[in-house]
Amino acid sequence: MGRVKKTSGVRKQYAQMKRMISSNDPRLKEKDRVPRKGKKKKENPDALVREVPQASSALFFEYNTQLGPPYHIILDTNFINFAIKNKLDIYQSMMDCLYAKCTPYITDCVLAELEKLGSKHRIALKIVKDPKFERLSCFHKGTYADDCIVQRVTEHKCYIVATCDKDLKRRIRKIPGVPVMYIAQHRFSIERMPDAYGAPKT
């Protein structure tokens, strides 16, 4: 004869388990609930608090809505010197490049750099002091123009930066929505300019 399977004990156990109320049951009161087992993360007071810098309201992704005619262009020291070397009229060449009215801006740092260069660059100084060029006053220490321009462009997204300096170009390319104007093949060119305003395609 074969063995008789004993299942009555297993059934009893299963029935008991079924009758138990789940710890998450809404009928249970808060004091009767069993606390969940799990490792609590220790709060580290020395943990780094990371803050994401707030994006400019002028940007739609990397498209800058504040750029539009009349264009505001900040000039760098070497850009002015290269324009003179290539015998280009800065104001007229800018308008030829962008097909719109342009307002060139000179910061105090750029003016100080040109003055430091001495009599060799007196033509550049004479051009810069023309009333067509608007002055931007600086309130920081030192006369290093690159840091000044980068800081100003980061704060206000309405400017185009005119420079031939490779390091400054590299720094400005990291800032979204800021076009760079430079001199190539004896004329002004521009990069990262939105197509919506009829910028010349390079």
92 is in which domain, residue-wise?
A: 69-197
The CATH number assigned to the domain holding 115 equals: 3.40.50.1010
Euclidean distance between CA atoms 77 and 31, whole angstroms: 74
In a domain? residue 166: yes
- Which two tokens mark 172? 């400005």
Instruction: Find, among 157, 155, 167, 165, the residue nearest to 192 by Cα.
Output: 157
CA 177 to chain centre: 7
In a domain? residue 154: yes
In a domain? residue 53: no
Virtual CA dihedral for 73, 90, 92, 159, nearest 10 degrees? 0
In a domain? residue 137: yes
Strands (E), 6-133: 59-60, 63-64, 71-75, 102-107
User: Strands 102-107 and 71-75: what pairing?
Assistant: parallel
In a domain? residue 34: no
Q: CA–CA distance from 41 to each of 37, 38, 66 (Å)?
A: 13, 9, 45
In a domain? residue 57: no
In a domain? residue 186: yes
In a domain? residue 19: no
Query: What integer pLDDT is reported at residue 168 of this predicted model?
Result: 92
pLDDT tens sequence for the chain (202 residues): 567 666 666 566 655 656 666 777 777 777 777 666 666 666 666 667 777 777 777 777 667 778 888 899 999 999 999 999 999 999 999 999 988 899 999 999 999 889 888 888 889 999 998 889 999 998 887 778 889 999 999 988 889 999 999 999 999 999 888 999 999 988 999 987 765 444 445 5
Number of domains in the chain: 1
Instruction: Tally Cβ neighbours within 10 Å of residue 191.
Output: 14
Query: What integer pLDDT is reported at residue 42 of this predicted model?
Result: 65
Q: Residue 76, class by beta-carbon neighbours within 10 Å (0-12 exposed, 13-18 middle, 19+ buried)? A: buried
